Amino acid sequence: MNFRWLILLVFLFRTALPLSEEVVIVDTLTNSTALEEPTDEYTCDCNDKDLLEKGNYTLTVEVKNMQVRLVEPFRDAIAFITSEKQHLLDYIQFVVLRDTKATYPLLLNYTEYASSFDELIKTFKNILSTENDISLSGIKYEVTTAVQKFFTSLLPDMFLCLSVGKCRTVPLEYQNCMTASTEHWSVYIGNTPNKMAATIAEAIYRYRKVEFLLVDMHQQLMNAQSLTITDECLKQYVHSLPCNCTLSGIVRCQTSCATSMETCFGKYSREWAAKLHLMRNMTSTKKSFLDEFLTLRKTIFSVIRLFIERKSFEYAAHVYKACGPLGEMIIHPSKHVARIHSPGPFVSRADGAVRELQLSAKSWDRFGRKICDHTGVVVHPGMCYDGTKVIK
């Protein structure tokens, strides 16, 4: 009999237990817990001042984390592209002078060829290094002017040192006459130098544009907090946050959160992606910057061959007509000592750094979605707070 009473008591005790386990709800914004039972009407009542402070702290921490993750790749890319400019030009100068010494040693040893070429390279360096804004047309003008000056001085040297057997020199007045009479140098060496000048000018423009974009985006990244977390951004962000709701476990609606993230990071994200897209267009050409600058070597050697093989007699007739017979010439002028130093092979690290940065094109889009996805514990997935009311 006592055993039957024991079974009955156990049965009554178990039926008295709740059908489901009690759930502790965690409010991720206030770190508080509560046990709530559903009511007929659910509302949320927030303290705007307190919520603004907490919302500002949350977004600031997230933005600073993003800055830390992105800043190093940008600093590396800027450092690489800045340091490589001089190395690139030094390497081009070395290659041209080395190959000239091997193929046309008289031109290098007995004329002003080396100093004229050095002046050309310095012009390229100045255009690459100047902090002034220069348009593509402005760069083309400066490069073309420098290239024409170089080839104008090269014509008399080629004639006196390559086409008449041994290197010769003439009186200064006759030399000046020869230089002045080569105003229309394209008649003797073609239009290839102008095409080469256009190629190098475009390469310099793209190089400068990439460097400018890197510096600009680094500055944009450093100012991300002030550019994104504005008063309107905070207002919309915290307006979508549920707090002090009569039913715990209600999260913000995705649509209201997405709207606030668009206000905060939409413009910033689009500008970021657009700059990276422009940078990709500036670097995704068939030829690298090195290949484009090496057209200088190819052009110089093709011009020398053309002049020696086909145009030297035509040029000689022109000089005779403009300046008279050569007259007194000095054979074997003083030999120049051309010191050629190798800067080491040029291997660009900037190209790889720029390609790596392309991976961050969608970073700020994902950043906003990540914040919206961080909803905490979801107890009532069918309900959410849209900033004004709880909806199903």
Task: Tell me what pLDDT residue 247 has.
Answer: 55
User: Domain segments of the chain: what residues?
Assistant: 78-229+263-360
Task: Tell me what pLDDT residue 284 has.
Answer: 78
What does the alpha-carbon distance between residue 189 and residue 157 come to, in Å, rounded to a whole number? 14
Task: Tell me what pLDDT residue 391 has.
Answer: 56
Task: Tell me what pLDDT residue 208 has.
Answer: 92
Confidence band, pLDDT 50/70/90 cuts, at residue 91: very high
Q: Which amino acid is at 302?
A: S
Confidence band, pLDDT 50/70/90 cuts, at residue 314: confident
Beta-bridge partners for 168: 331
**Average pLDDT, integer, range 142-148:** 95
pTM of the predicted protein model: 0.76
Beta-bridge partners for 330: 169
Confidence band, pLDDT 50/70/90 cuts, at residue 26: very low
pLDDT, tens digit, 9 for 90 and up, residues 239-249: 766 565 545 55
Q: Name which of 119, 180, 183, 112 is nearest 146 in CA terms.
A: 119
pLDDT tops 60 at residue 20: no
Q: Name which of 371, 304, 269 is nearest 113 in CA terms.
A: 304
Cα 319–chain centre separation = 50
| pLDDT, greater one: 84 or 23 | 84
CA angle 139, 141, 142 (to 5 degrees): 65
Task: Tell me what pLDDT residue 201 has.
Answer: 96
What does the alpha-carbon distance between residue 132 and residue 377 come to, in Å, rounded to a whole number? 55
Task: Tell me what pLDDT residue 132 has.
Answer: 80
pLDDT cut 90: percent of the chain above it: 38
| pLDDT, greater one: 13 or 134 | 134
